[in-house]
Amino acid sequence: MKPTTAPKTYRVKSFGCQMNVYDGERIADMLDKRGIVPAPEGEEADLVVLNTCHIREKAAEKVYSDIGRLTKAGRKVGKEPLIAVAGCVAQAEGEEIMARSPAVSMVVGPQAYHRLPDMLDKAVQGERATDTDMPAIAKFAALPERTKRFPTAFLTVQEGCDKFCTYCVVPYTRGAEISRPFADLVKEAHRLAERGAREITLLGQNVNAWSGVDTKGDSCGLDGLIRELAKIPELQRIRYTTSHPNDFEKGLVRCHAEVEKLMPYLHLPVQSGSDRVLKAMNRSHTADSYLRLLEDMRAARPDIALSGDFIVGFPGETNAEFEETLALVDEVKYAQAFSFKYSPRPGTPAATMDGQVAKEVMDERLQRLQAALNRDQLAFNEASVGKTCQVLVERKGKLPGQWLGKTPWLQSAWFEGDVAIGDLVEVELLEAGPNSLSARLRNQVRSFV
């Protein structure tokens, strides 16, 4: 690799989960601090960071395809960009990316991206570098303070996972479970609220495994952190994702009943309705224990919207076991859900299990599952028609005078009126579609712009 001029513009392209979205934002913060600016829309960037996800099938091959497109586009304008591959594919593939793609200057894992600026200095001098170390939580102290203003913000409180589900690469790409200190999180939440964040979503691969020591020196779980953040005057809404059923404590259930700022929405992956499949997945819950937990949640917060994750076609899944998943869906009636065909991830136990399900069987099962989930999502939205609720205005709509925001139940709602991004407004929900609702503005509750 030849020395090159320092980049003036950048583009961060993030894939996958909300943790990756957060990481992408923090990478952008570091580049902003270096005086590198986002590339204008439609223009090629001097530096491109591919912030990758390893959950989906053929994730690595898609990265190589993106690298090829970037290289080709750069040649057309007479200058190939510096390319950095970050995220979980970077962690899993490491030196293989460097070997296969000479166009890549930097490969950095999700626990080491705070060292990207130093790697960039070396890349400008013609050096290629890989950093996939997994230092315990060191990156957060090294990241710059966030300065951008948004009405909503992500706050990573926990990273990694110790569950070792047999289909999942997260323990290998994100490392062991680790919690950020209580005081650091409260301080960062205050700063986000001071900069205009009206809603904060607490993030973690297994967010309800977070634990810490509060200001009194007492041990506390996620519910204690939420109760402390709810004291921040400017902060109006709190959410969290993604939870694991095994770590769902009674205190967090009570939190939903007692903390007004905690939104009535819960994303709690189940993956399958079959106990045998759940055991093969190394999930520590059963269908019954999962359903009982949801009953507790509904007792605590009767209007709560439930969301889940599903995998169809896990090795050995029979037709009868898939029907158990459909039966669970029929019982829960999810407001939202995410569903996927099983895809083997290299290095995971499930990848070598007997009974790999044929693609056409998985396709058919996924279609049936998604039809049921879509039915219930529409039904939940239709049941919301006529309600009056608060919506946090997040962005402009496609039409003049139109605005988009989220209801307490994380539904997208659009309406017209004289408002601004960051306003918390009261609307009446008028008409439901599968993915959003139309609404009528009743009054502007408060402006935070």
Q: Residue 389 annotated as binding?
A: no
CA distance 66 to 90: 14
For residue 94, the one-letter residue type is G
CA distance 272 to 321: 8
As to burial, measured by CB atoms within 10 angstroms (0-12 exposed, 13-18 middle, 19+ buried), residue 434 is: exposed
- For residue 400, the Cα-to-chain-centroid distance in whole angstroms is 30
Q: Residue 255 annotated as binding?
A: no
Q: Burial letters for 238-257: b for 16+ Cβ neighbours within 10 Å, e otherwise?
A: bbbbbbbbebbeeebbebbe
**H, E, C per residue of 142-162:** HCCCCCCCCCEEEEECEECCC
Structure-block tokens of residue 406: 């989220």
Measured in degrees and rounded to the nearest 5, phi and psi for residue 350 equal -65, -25
C-alpha distances (whole Å) from 140 to each of 35, 131, 185 are: 20, 16, 10
Q: Residue 168 annotated as binding?
A: yes
Residue list, annotated binding site for [4Fe-4S] cluster: 17, 53, 88, 161, 165, 168
Residue list, annotated binding site: 17, 53, 88, 161, 165, 168
